[in-house]
Every structure is written in C-alpha cells, then in structure tokens.
Amino acid sequence: MLPKGAVVSVECDIVKGLHAFTIVGLPDKSVEEAKDRLAAAIKNTEFEDEERALESPKRSNKKIVLSLAPAALKKEGAVFDLPLALSFLLASEQIHFLPQGKMFAGELALDGVVRRILGTLSIASAAFDKGFTDIYVPEENVAEASLISGLMVHPVASLRDVIDQLEDIESHMVRTVPNVERPAREEDDTALDEIRGQESAKRGLIIASAGGHNLALYGPPGTGKTLLARAAVSILPDLTESEMIEVTTIHSLSGTLMGDAIFRPPFRSPHHTSSYAALIGGGSSGIRPGEATLSHRGVLFCDEFPEFHRDVINALREPLEDRVVSISRAKGSATFPANFMLIAALNPCPCGFLGTKACQCMPHIVEKYRRKISGPVADRIDMWVSVGHLSPETLSTKAKRGGGETKKAREHVARARARQYARFEHLKNVSTNADMGPKEIESLAELTPKAEEALQGAARSMKLSPRGYHRTIKLARTIADLAGSNPIEPSHMLEALQYRAREI
C-alpha cells in the first residue's frame, strides 16, 4: 500500500488572561518546539510598510491554544510550523485570508525563512484526495509536489512571502512551477558490455529482469557476481507514472530522495552486517521503512547473502511472498510496500573455493554455511544461476568486449514487460509475471500439453513444493514472453526447470 499523509486541521483560540502558549493534539517534541520557532519567525518578519509589524505570541498577555486535530493522531516533525504560525496570525486578526481549500506545510527558521521538509509528495497526494485545490510548500519541495496533477502548487520562500500571496492573490506575481522531466538515460559503467563471458549468467539476469523474479548468483569469489547484479539496473525499464509516484513518495518520507523525482528503478545494496530493523524497518526512534521498502519497484541486492544474520535472512520470507512489510511495535504499527526483485550473491562455502585444493573448509562448516539460507527462503528464490571461473583467454585485454549487449538486453526486457503490462492491465497489484497468484496463473499462463507433461514429471522427480510449482510456471511464462510466444512451450518450461535446481 502506498504511504500517504493524513490531513491535520490547525485551530487557534485566543482569550484574555494570564499569558499561556500551548500546542495540544498529541504533539511530539519537535512539534512542541515549534512554539519557539514560530514566535521568533513572526517577530523577525518585516514588511515594506515600516508601520506594519507582527506581534509575537510570546509578547501578548493572552492565553493562546493551538490545536492539531484529530487529537488521537500523533503529530511528528516540523512540517506544522507554517500552518501553526498562519493559524495564530489569522486568529489574532494580524492577517486576513480565506483558508478554505488551502493546505500549508513547511518548517520555519528563526528569521522566517521556510525550509525544505520531508514527505511533500505524500502530503500533496493526501491534499488532492481530500479535495484541496491549493497547496503552499517550500520552494525546494515545489517540483516534488507538482507531480500530483490537479493541485495549484504555490512555492513559498518565507513567512512574509506566504502572507503576501494570501493577502494579495490577484496582484501577486505568479511564479511558474518547474516541470519535472524524465532525464536522458545514461549508460551504466557496470552494464553487460563490461562483463566478459558468463553468457548463461547474463541470460538468467535478463530473464529475472524481464519478469521481476528473484535471483541467486552463486560461484567462487571474483567471477563477476556483483557486476552482474549491478548491471540489472541498466536493463530494467523506467518506472511507469504510477510507479514513479510510489517510489518517490517512499524516498521522500524516508529522507533519501536525491532530486525531485525517481524515474529509474532503485538499487539498494545493504551491507551484510545490516540489522533486522535496517533491512525490514522499524527502529528505536519510530517506525521507519527499511531497505526492503526503499528497494520497492527496484532491486534489493544482498551480497555475501549467507553472511547476513540468520534472523535477517528469514525476515525476508514475508516480503518475498506478500510484497509488503508489516511492522508492529509498542509505539504503533505500519504496513509498507516491498515489491522488489531480490538478487542474492553467495559463495559455495565460507572460503569460496569448494571442490578445489585451495578449500580447507571442514564439512560441518560448509553445512552450517549453507543452512544459513533456510528452505522457505530458498524456495522463494525463483532462479539459481551458477557463475563459474573464466579462462585467461576470455579475460585477455585483447579480446573484444560485447558490442551493444546492454542495449539489446534492454530491448528484450522492454518487449517482455510490454506484453505483461498489456496482459495485466485490468488487474490490480499485478504488473509483472512474478506478481501473479494461483488465480492469475490458471487464467493467464497457458501451457501446451507437452509443457504440462514436462512440468508434472519434473515436479515429481525434483519434489517441487506447491510454491515451487507455481513459481516455475511464472518463470516459464517470462521465458515465453521473451520469445514472443503466447502459450508456454516445452522448451520454455525445461529452461525454467533448470533454474530451480539448487546446487548449494
């Protein structure tokens, strides 16, 4: 589910009496501190008319109560500074405007400057859903907010700037909102063209990218597993409009948004010492999305996969199956989207040289290493691809590199994805073959009798679980899409079955 902001109403009550200035409505520490920020910002706001000056709430001999509703919702962050200041100024009749249909968000500096905030896209989305027509956000966030069509986005630089806009709308110069354009695609240095040999591994990477399947690359150290994983981003298609909104919203809320929008599938590569909270989400300071959510609609690359803590590896079971992460803590609960393509890189043993004279790993050490990846996790990985040693001739500097390999792979993946988008156009939450459930498999993954026969025989001999059985069909469906075939032929099914064999 896409994280969206909640609409909070700001109310202000001012009565004569002993001075008091309070904010109610379940505010956290950062919202409580807004009293000092907005008081200083109001005091330091100057106008061209020297006779006009704003009175700070801390200088008035009155009881001031600022309320954030709904009261049961915990309020966090400095995003409420601007609406709190405007609510007080409007209630004290120091400014005049009609607040209906307008939403405000921004952090105030002590001199009245409006600073950048997190989660602007989520706020704009909630404003549009609730019927607001205008939204006032910091200048640095305006391009992000403009991704939601149907809203009039007003960039504000300071408290005085927003007051000028609100009080003199007709004569105030309208500033144009920049259009967020998709950047030109650049070639990746770690693309397929840069990788010598490993043709079978490249084929497996193309299949996984075309259908969004989980992939495990196993082999000795230094054979190109990491380069292959990083090359996946270079052949994945750009995000669709709805996917771009989803991904940008997540990264905006997390504070990891670099730029105005994310148009390319994200690539996250957590270190193998990452904690459970870092990968799945949560944390002591609040419920925050983890790497599984930050890689939504992209790639989660886990290098040295068995070196991750066993609990961290097992925590991937639910997101790999359900495509969401549900977190429950004493401070609350949340559900984050986590529809990513897992690419795991692993060695055959702790030293990586199993089967050679260089390996000195004891059998029980090798067994313990392999058991770090439990059966349920391994069953959720669609493809097991071997990345073997390369001959010196292949690595020779005089040998020619692949010409246009990345471009060709990208075109193949794009065509396969286009077939899937057309197939699942009428379905919700299904955009790739990997997203299909049993119902979609039965109706949209047509098998020829020979392909069905091959699958049935392999299921008995390989002892495939029901999950493995369905994942094999989904993988075969992707191979058929790459071949431009409507039914799944025996050759597609046999190729899919060879990727289900786990040798480590």
Q: What is the mean pLDDT of each run of 10 residues along the chain (504 residues)?
A: 76 90 93 94 86 85 93 91 96 93 96 93 92 94 89 93 82 53 63 82 96 95 90 92 91 85 93 93 78 96 94 94 86 86 94 85 91 93 91 67 79 96 92 94 94 95 94 97 95 95 76
What count of Cα atoms within 13 Å lies in the side-chain half-sphere of residue 114? 30
Calculate the alpha carbon distances from 62 to 24, 35, 57, 85, 141 in Å: 17, 15, 8, 16, 35
Calculate the alpha carbon distances from 145 to 104, 126, 158, 238 in Å: 12, 11, 18, 21
Residue at token pair 């590896």: 313
Closest CA relative to residue 327, chosen from 318, 336, 316, 339:
336
Cβ count within 10 A of residue 374: 13
The pLDDT value recorded for residue 423 is 95
Closest CA relative to residue 316, chosen from 257, 260, 366, 274:
274
Asked if 387 and 343 touch (Cβ cutoff 8 Å), the reply is no
Asked if 486 and 446 touch (Cβ cutoff 8 Å), the reply is yes
CATH of 192-390+402-426, one of 3.40.50.300, 1.10.3210.10, 2.60.15.10, 3.30.110.40: 3.40.50.300
In Å, how far from its chain's centre is CA 392? 40
**Three-class SS of residue 240?**
coil
Q: Is 326 exposed, middle or buried (0-12, 13-18, 19+ CB in 10 A)?
A: middle
DSSP letters of 388-403? ----HHHH-TTSPPPS
**Three-class SS of residue 115?**
strand
Question: What are φ and ψ of residue 345, in 5° steps?
Answer: -110, 135
Asked if 112 and 158 touch (Cβ cutoff 8 Å), the reply is yes
Asked if 145 and 124 touch (Cβ cutoff 8 Å), the reply is yes
DSSP letters of 294-363? HTTTSEEEETTGGGS-HHHHHTTHHHHHHSEEEEEETTEEEEEE---EEEEEE-SSSSS-TTSTT----H
What are the sequence ranges of the domains in the chain?
9-167, 192-390+402-426, 436-504
The pLDDT value recorded for residue 403 is 66
- C-alpha span between 85 and 64 (Å, rounded): 12
CATH 3.30.1180 fits 436-504, yes or no: no
Closest CA relative to residue 501, chosen from 216, 119, 145:
216
Q: Is the pTM of this model over 0.75?
A: yes
CATH topology of domain 9-167: Ribosomal Protein S5; domain 2 (3.30.230)
Strand partners, 345: 217
The pLDDT value recorded for residue 85 is 96
The pLDDT value recorded for residue 171 is 46
Beta strands in 25-111 (DSSP E): 62-69, 102-104, 107-108
Q: Is 385 exposed, middle or buried (0-12, 13-18, 19+ CB in 10 A)?
A: buried
Calculate the alpha carbon distances from 72 to 29, 68, 349 in Å: 16, 10, 53
